[in-house]
Amino acid sequence: MQSWNTNTEKHCGRIIKRLSYRLETRNKEEYRRASAIKQKLEGLPYRTIARNLDVNYRNVYNWIKEYKKYGLDGIRSKRNNAGRIPKISSDKNKERIKEIISKSPRTFGYLKNIWSIRLLATYLTTILGMNVSPMQTWRIVHDLGIVSRRPKLALEYAEDYEKGKKIVDNYKKVSAALLKKNSPRI
């Protein structure tokens, strides 16, 4: 059982230090509870703490009661299923996506030279067996720190311009026709 009547600043300082460490949690509930206990140890009344955290003062009272009874274990969330477990953006899949992006789409049978978000989402949908939206794909790519820039056509010689232009125009016609013919609509 956690002692609550702490008259010494040293003991109170140690508790606040442990709670400060606890405030680094990603769980919103645990953060609020630890913050409430920290404020109570600093001497604030229940109602002020409740107003600061935008909760009912009874919640603050119950959190502190749990803390007195069980210590830091008392402020831990009782729910193990707090939110859906991310499947697409898991570390394993992020590594897999990083490997895929490092290779050309041509390696995987596409006619494009660079990945677009939509094309990558389509490919991820097929290999992962779950629906991956372009927005989710963009978030994952953004989290990985990958920035896409459109390459510019650069020719060494001016006389190659017409030849290069014909190649590019032909590629656009062929790729558009093949995409419409062979692949599912996005």
64 neighbors 6 (Cβ within 8 angstroms): no
Could you list the pLDDT tens digit for every one of the 186 residues in the chain? Answer: 444 444 444 555 566 666 655 555 567 777 788 888 888 888 899 999 999 888 998 999 998 898 888 887 777 766 655 566 667 777 788 888 889 988 989 888 888 888 888 999 999 888 888 888 899 888 888 888 887 666 666 656 666 677 777 888 888 777 766 666 665 554
Helical H runs in 42-147? 46-53, 57-70, 91-102, 117-128, 134-143
CA nearest 137: which of 101, 174, 179? 101
Domain coordinates in residue numbering, the chain: 9-75, 91-182
Q: How far apart are CA 184 and CA 186, in angstroms?
A: 6
